[in-house]
Structure 1
C-alpha cells in the first residue's frame, strides 16, 4: 500500500508541477515521494518524534551515504518533514511543493479536478488504490499509537482521536496553562 501510494505521490506531484510550471529535480522529487511515509513503518517508527521527521532523517542518511550533496539532502528532508503541514510547502522549493501536492491529491483528492482524468486513470492502473482509505488510516494508527504525543499540532492527531479509544488531543491552551511558569 505504501509503495503504490508513494509512487502515486511522485506521479501526481509531477503532474501538478508541470501544470504550475514548477521545475523540480525529478530524482529528488522521487526520493521525497518514496520516503515520505517511511516514518510510519518499523524500524523507522521507533523514536519519539514526528513520523515526518523520522522519514526525513532516514532519507537524508540514505542520500548522504550515496554521495548526494548536503543541499540535495536538505531539500528532500524539508519535502518529507513538511509533507503534512498545511500551506507552507507550496511556498517553498518545487520538490517540497510537488511532494505536498502529490500527497494531498492521493490522500484527500486535492486538485484532482485540475488534472487530466486520463492521466489519473493511467496512474491508478499502474499503482492501484485497493482499499486505500481503510489501509492508509490503519497504517497511521499503527505507526502513531505508541507515540501519541508526537501528533500534537498535526493532522495526525485527527487519526488517533478517531480510531484510538481514550485518546484526546492536547490543546495549545492546555500546554500554555500547564507550563511551569507561575503565571
Structure 2
C-alpha cells in the first residue's frame, strides 16, 4: 500500500488485505485513511519506544477501530467502539485467529477513546490509543519528525478531516445518545446542540432505589 522512509511497513498478509478490503467497503475514504494513519503513527511510537508488538494485530485494530460508525455495523444499544470491536473479533475468529489474540484486538478497539487507561495496557492496546490521539487531536505531534508526518499524510491524505470526522461522530452520537454516557462522545452532541445536558452521575446515584 505504501512505502515509508522509516521502519514501518503496512502489513500485506492475506488476512491484512482482507481486513482492509472489508473496511474499505463500509467506510468513507476519510475514515479509512484515518484508520491507516492510526496504525502508522502507533507503530512509529512503538518502534521508538522499543516495544514488542504484533504489527498485524495493531493494523487490524486500527482498521476496525471506527467501523462502528459505519451504518452496516451500528447497533442501537452499544457504544460505537464496542460495535467496531465486535466486528473485528468476529472477523479474526472467522479467519482462525486464536481467541486470546482476537480478544486483544477487541480490547484495543473498545478502549481506544477511554482516557487514562489504554496507555498502561499491552502494546497493541496502548499504541492503538496513541495513534488515535495523534491523528485526531495531535497528542505527541512533536514526537514525530516533520518528514514522518509529511510521508504519512502524503500516503493517506487528511482532506477535510476535522470537519468530516466531527460530523460522522456527531451523527453516530445523535442516533444513540444513551450510549455516550460516561464517555467523551456526548461532547459531539453538545457541539451540535449547546442546550444538551449530559446524563448526570449524581442524579443517577440520587435516583437509585436505595434508601440512602
TM tier relative to shorter chain = over 0.9
TM-score, with structure 2 as normaliser:
0.84
Report what 1:67 is aligned to: 96
Contact 1:47–1:54, Cα closer than 8 Å, also in 2: no
Report what 1:16 is aligned to: 45
Contact 1:11–1:102, Cα closer than 8 Å, also in 2: yes
SS at structure 2 position matched to 1:145 = helix
**Does the alignment pair 1:156 with 2:185?**
yes
Moved over 3 A (4+): none
Residue deviations 1:20-41 (CA, integer Å, cap 9, x gap): 1112100000000000001111
Residues 69-148 of structure 1 aligned to structure 2 (within 5 Å): 69-148=98-177
CA RMSD of aligned residues (A): 1.1
Structure number with greater CO (CA < 8 Å, separation at least 6) is 1
The number of equivalent residue pairs is 183
Contact 2:173–2:188, Cα closer than 8 Å, also in 1: no
Contact 2:118–2:125, Cα closer than 8 Å, also in 1: yes
Distance in 2 (CA, whole Å) between partners of 1:89 and 1:113 is 21
SS at structure 2 position matched to 1:149 = helix
**Does the alignment pair 1:182 with 2:211?**
yes
Structure 1 gaps of 5+ residues are none
Structure 2 gaps of 5+ residues are 1-29
TM-score, with structure 1 as normaliser:
0.96
Report deviation, 1:182.
Answer: 2.7
SS at structure 2 position matched to 1:83 = coil
Distance in 2 (CA, whole Å) between partners of 1:145 and 1:41 is 14
Distance in 1 (CA, whole Å) between partners of 2:194 and 2:69 is 20
Distance in 2 (CA, whole Å) between partners of 1:150 and 1:33 is 22
Report what 2:73 is aligned to: 44
Report deviation, 1:44.
Answer: 1.2
